[in-house]
Amino acid sequence: MSINWLMLIIGGLFETGFAISLGKAQQSSGKALALWLTTFAVCVAISMFLLFKAMGGPKAIPVGTAYAVWGAIGAFGTVVAGIALFNEPVTFWRMFFLTTLVLSVVGLQLTTAA
């Protein structure tokens, strides 16, 4: 795995962080709200920077692939965190489509020349 793919994966995890921060901010007020909004801003900045870096350099990941994988990692992490932190429902169809998302990301990685 190249450094670009590693940066992209970490960036996707920070995307999960910014989505969860927004969810927590909705449930907060006062200092806690400010903390969650600050966490959101930091996660957005890191996530976008890592996406930017993954698309550059000698082992650049193509823009379309990078964005799709980054978004899918964030979506997957957000669904899992939503289930764990916000008691969101676990249904057959939700898990089915989450699985197809993961398989699609793996397929993109396998078919993209790094």
Render pLDDT for 41-80 as a digit per residue (tens, 0 to 9).
Answer: 999 999 999 999 999 988 899 998 899 999 999 999 999 9
What total number of domains does the chain contain? 1
The domain containing residue 67 runs over which residues? 3-111
Encoded amino acid at 18, one letter: F
User: In which band, very low, low, confident or very high, does the pLDDT at 109 lie, cut at 50, 70 and 90?
Assistant: confident
What is the mean predicted confidence (pLDDT) over 8-37? 96
Helices (H) and strands (E) in the chain, counts: 4, 0
pTM of the model: 0.86
Predicted pLDDT at 1:
74
Spell out a b/e string for 62-83, using b for 16 or more CB atoms within 10 Å of the CB, else e.
eeebbebbbebbbbbbbbebbe
Q: Of 1-10, 64-73, 105-114, which range is least confident?
A: 105-114
Under a CB-based contact definition with an 8 Å cutoff, are residues 63 and 4 in contact? no
More confident site: 107 or 33: 33
